[in-house]
Amino acid sequence: MESAPLQVLVETAMLAAVSGLAFLLSTLLKLDSSLGYFLPLPIAIAACRSGPRAGWDTMGATACLVLGVCQQRRQQQYPCAQQQQQQQQ
């Protein structure tokens, strides 16, 4: 298994971060209808620049980032929801 060049790894990480941030902002600001068209753009850019493998790597890294961010957000909301339920009882 050969390792990817450093430039491809850095581009993959940066494009994954941009894609994850775009998804998070479009979800939080309820702009899915307008920003939804641009969400796959960083993945397509990575695939065009460095080949299909870089596109898949960018998509995988984006999925991990989004999963981590959304999980943390839900974890932070969970205690607040539990506290509100206890106060209602």
Q: How many domains does the chain have?
A: 1
Residue 1 included in any domain = no
CA distance 36 to 56: 19
- Residue 16 forms part of a structural domain: yes
Triad 73, 74, 80: Cα angle to 5°: 100
CA 28-37-68 angle, 5° bins: 40
User: Average pLDDT per run of 10 along the chain, which is 89 residues long?
Assistant: 77 89 82 79 90 90 83 62 58
Nearest by Cα to 20 from 65, 54, 73 = 65
**What residue numbers bound the domain in which 56 lies?**
6-88
Output the pLDDT for position 87: 64
Output the six-digit token pair for 35: 């920003």
Cα 1 to the chain's mean position, in Å? 27
Query: 29 lies in a domain?
Result: yes
pLDDT given for residue 45 in this prediction? 92
